[in-house]
Amino acid sequence: MKIAEKKALKRESIIQTALQLFSANGFHKTTIPDIAAKLHMSVGNLYNYFSSKDILAQEIIKYTSEVLGEEIRKINMQDISAREKIRGIVTVYFTMAQEKPEMIEYFLRVYLSNREVFSDGCEGMVCVSGFITEIMIFFDDAVASGELRNQDFFSAFGLFMGYLGGMVFLKGEGVLPKEIEYYIDDISRNIYNALKA
Amino acid sequence: MILQSRNKPKLLWLQSITCNGNTHSFLNHPELFSILSHFELVHHPVLESAYTLENVIKGEVPCDLLIVEGAFKEEGFLKSGVEVSSVLKKYADKAKYIISAGTCATFGGIFKENDPEEISGFCFDGEEKTPRYESYASKLISLPGCPIHPRWLSYLLLMIASGNKVPLDTLHRPVELYGYTVHTGCTRNEYFEWKIDAKQFGVKEGCLFYEQGCQGPYTRGSCNKILWNDTSSKTRVGTPCFGCTEPGFPQAGLYRTKTHMGIPATMPLGIPRRAYLTLTGVVKSFKIKRFTERLMEYDK
């Protein structure tokens, strides 16, 4: 394996490990030595990959945004109705919350709760554009086809993602009486009914 | 070179269904007579020339270079009791060059709106080729614009007079003039890049693309490179580009940008939607003080 490939793999493993620790323990309670220890690497070596904890946190949100964006992109590329795409996006989001809960947790509990960490270099949509772009494309297609009502982007975006984020938050708090997949049908229908033309 | 020959090319300017806008636009060219001096003006609708309209109709006028102004109708548009289409055909057959001057002559333009089935450009109906296209394609040069920019026409005439080859695109437009979009050279480009909207017409600040219907990013033309009256352009003074050089002109809702949930329904020419939206999302995250204030107020 080439050195560059090895470095890329190492870099991703740092992101994965830090993602889990930040999501579980919070940004401020997780230290660089904690992350290095879990990876069995030296603190100095870890700094060769990420020059600060803030930079590492920013790279993680870019990484999670790209992963989620890629999943939604696959749905966008399908020749199906907006109604079916909504169901696809809800399913992807909830599946990720089940299988990779650290990714959604990171967004809700680190990215949204520690804005000072992301104020320089991750302003606005800079670090989440991979995901936002796919949502924009979904809306654009759905309005162009006449299936969804034309309206302000953020009104629709807030309704869609706020709903999903809220459900995952409730799941994280352990107050949902049923597994999250149980709610996919109802939530997809609610979102569609709220946004349809 | 033709320019040095004793026999100047014979220029015939004919009008079909027109408002005279292209004729009048060309009359504003500051070097009009110098340009025309390279030709023998055998007939023109408003300038003094050697032949009368009667001579023209009879087919008696010599013609190397035919300029067609106005939209075209195969049957039913008569001047002096004669089908204009038959007169045009006579001279188009013998001309070495045919210039469709203006959007009506090129694509159908405003007049096509009145009767889209019967009225078209001379060789194009919108973007589609008319039956005449095959006969005249080898000598056709399209100069769309509503009206035509006088310096675009003079560029072409001088190129022809000098014996130079004029590179053309698939719609026969000179690439030198239509290879750009109107967006090129717009003084508002920094506002476009940073997604700062103009909130009203006539102001110096802000981009007119996002909210005011500007078609500059997908309209081919040199309006911001070769300025009107050598001074300015629509977008420079704060009016959106109407896309008047395009086959689809006139579009409905000239002052409105069609959007889908705030996303422009048409992307700037040649830019992939995903790439554009990614950039848009990123640049909108920055607040740049210089672009949020009136020019006259900033740095006071």
- pLDDT tens sequence across B53-88: 899 999 999 999 999 999 999 999 999 899 999 999
Residue B261 is nearest to which of A125, A126, A156, comparing CB atoms? A156
Residue with tokens 């060769």: A48
Question: Between chains, do A132 and B281 touch, taking CB under 8 Å as contact?
Answer: yes
Pairing of strands B72-73, B82-83: unpaired
CB pairs under 8 A between A and B: 55
Query: Lowest mean pLDDT: which of A115-129, A175-189, B45-59, B78-92?
Result: A115-129
Name the band, by pLDDT with cuts 50, 70 and 90, for residue B287.
confident
* CA A43/CA B281 separation, integer angstroms: 35
Choice between B199 and B299, residue whose per-residue pLDDT is larger: B199
Q: What is the pLDDT of residue B170?
A: 96
Nearest to A113 by CA among A155, A154, A172, A68: A172
Pairing of strands B124-125, B128-129: antiparallel
- pLDDT tens sequence across B9-40: 999 999 999 999 999 999 999 999 999 999 99
Q: Amino acid letter at B279?
A: L
pLDDT at B2 over 50: no
* CA B282/CA A122 separation, integer angstroms: 9
Q: Average the pLDDT over A56-65 and give the result.
A: 94
Q: What percent of chain B has pLDDT over 90?
A: 85
Nearest to A180 by CA among A162, A195, A164, A196: A164
Q: Average the pLDDT over B108-127 and give the result.
A: 97
pLDDT at B298 over 80: no
Q: Average the pLDDT over B244-253 and give the result.
A: 94
| DSSP H helices in B201-250 | 234-237
Two tokens at B94? 């013998």
Name the band, by pLDDT with cuts 50, 70 and 90, for residue A144.
very high
Two tokens at B103? 């959007």
Q: Average the pLDDT over B130-139 and give the result.
A: 96
pLDDT at B1 over 70: no
Nearest to B53 by CA among B78, B21, B71, B22: B78
Q: List, in order, residues 6 or more apart from B8 with CB less than 8 Å away.
A: B2, B38, B39, B40, B161
Q: Amino acid letter at A169?
A: F
Q: Are B226 and B150 in contact (CB under 8 A)?
A: no
* CA B206/CA B48 separation, integer angstroms: 46
Q: What is the pLDDT of residue B161?
A: 96
pLDDT at B234 over 90: yes
Give CA angle at A106 (B195, A75), nearest 5°: 65
Two tokens at B100? 């469709």
Q: What is the pLDDT of residue B300?
A: 66
Give CA angle at B118 (B112, B123), nearest 5°: 75
Mean residue pLDDT of chain B comes to 93
Alpha carbon B51 to its chain's center: 28
Name the band, by pLDDT with cuts 50, 70 and 90, for residue B3.
very low
Residue B286 is nearest to which of A123, A152, A153, comparing CB atoms? A123
The torsion angle over the Cα atoms of residues B252, B254, B260 and B263, rounded to 10 degrees, is: 150
Name the band, by pLDDT with cuts 50, 70 and 90, for residue A2.
confident
Chain B neighbors of A137, CB-CB under 8 A: 273-274, 277
Q: What percent of chain A has pLDDT over 70?
A: 100
Cross-strand pairs, B10: B40
Cα–Cα distances (Å) from B244 to A99, B216, B217, B258, in that order, read 54, 10, 13, 17
Q: What is the pLDDT of residue A125?
A: 85
Residue with tokens 């009048």: B24
pLDDT at A142 over 80: yes
Query: Lowest mean pLDDT: which of A82-96, A110-124, B203-217?
Result: A110-124
Distance from CA of A153 to the nearest CA of B (A): 4
Q: Look at the pTM and tell me if it is higher than 0.90.
A: no
* CA B80/CA B72 separation, integer angstroms: 16
pLDDT at B288 over 90: no
Q: Average the pLDDT over B86-105 and give the result.
A: 97
Please state whether the peptide bond connecting residue B147 to the residue before it is cis, i.e. omega within 30 degrees of 0: yes
What is the chain B residue with the closest CA to A146? B260
Name the band, by pLDDT with cuts 50, 70 and 90, for residue A4.
confident
Name the band, by pLDDT with cuts 50, 70 and 90, for residue A3.
confident
Query: What beta strand segments (E) does B29-74 contain?
Result: 40-43, 65-69, 72-73
Distance from CA of A113 to the nearest CA of B (A): 18
Q: What's the start-to-end Cα distance of chain A, in Å?
A: 53
pLDDT at B5 over 50: no
Selected for mutation to probe chain B from A75, A129, A154 (highest B CB count within 10 Å) is: A129
Q: What is the pLDDT of residue B42?
A: 96
DSSP H/E element including A190: helix A184-195
